[in-house]
Copies of this chain bind each other. A is one copy, B any other.
């Protein structure tokens, strides 16, 4: 015996670590929203950009950069993609600033984005107790703060 005693199921020494569980859950959740947005030909970065501009018509790339904590340099290709797709309009503002607005078709697509996000959120929290639902974002905010930023 014991000729083929393979490990195959490993002991997972990372199980239960906040760092690990957060990363794993975040990865799963991002995979799920990616699937949800696939039919709209949008990635999460696109969708979150549209959400922010939809809620703040006329905001600038700097505004977005600060709000979503992405480097200004990384906002550029996202804006370009959405502009080329006819979803975004760039209007000259003060100084070098450019004010961003959703086009008509951008606004229409945003509605679908909101539906996709609503579906995702409903699915995520479908079997959470009221207490859990109420506390989960509080805990996440605490953890975020403890991780030193925000």
Contact = CB atoms under 8 A, between A and B. Distances in A.
A8 interface: yes
Interface in A54-72: 54-56, 58-60, 63-64, 66-67, 69
Interface stretch (A19-27, A73-81, A82-90, A101-109): A19-27
Given A11-B56, A127-B146, A135-B132, A29 B23 contact: yes
Given A10-B67, A19-B29, A125-B143, 15 more contacts: A4-B94, A12-B55, A13-B52, A14-B48, A18-B124, A20-B48, A21-B137, A22-B26, A25-B147, A27-B69, A28-B144, A28-B148, A132-B135, A132-B139, A139-B139
